[in-house]
Amino acid sequence: MTRGDFYRVSKPAARNPRPFRVFLVVSRQVLIDSKFSTAICAPVYFARHGLSTQIPVGPDEGLRHDCSVHCDELVSLPKPALTRFVGRLDESRFAELDRALAAALAIDPRALGGPTLALSPQAARDARAVGRSNR
């Protein structure tokens, strides 16, 4: 499991009328790789409102239809529920994801030193490798 993966989750919440929902994993890779039992995810809906907290996605990411990731509805899902892989958000779109997450959490990306708030999975692996070699 890596940041940017889409998974189809069966009955994600009791109040959800749908039998399944697709989610995008948005947690930091270090958290995903840890023994922590959950991952932070954003739901995917057919509704597209063009909000700054939404990212348009569709067949290019492995989804059946055009829809959007709603970063203003983050949930913590058990990792064992994330087993039905659907597709992947291209790493070239991670800055767009980070901007939507920043908007959803009222974080000014400029206050953090740049437009990208989190490392892509490959950049996170590279950073860990550099950290290990500096020990």
Q: What is the pTM of this model?
A: 0.79
17 has a pLDDT exceeding 90? no
- Cα dihedral 39→3→15→84 (10° resolution): -100
CA distance 11 to 30: 27
More confident residue, 109 or 36: 36
Domain containing residue 64:
5-131
Q: Count the domains in the chain.
A: 1
15 has a pLDDT exceeding 60? yes
More confident residue, 97 or 130: 97
In sequence order, which ranges of 56-119 are alpha helices (DSSP H)? Answer: 94-104
Angle ∠(97,100,13) on CA atoms, nearest 5: 90
Output the six-digit token pair for 54.
Answer: 């939404």
Q: Tell me, what CATH number does 126's domain have?
A: 2.30.30.110
| Predicted local distance difference test score (pLDDT) of residue 108 | 81
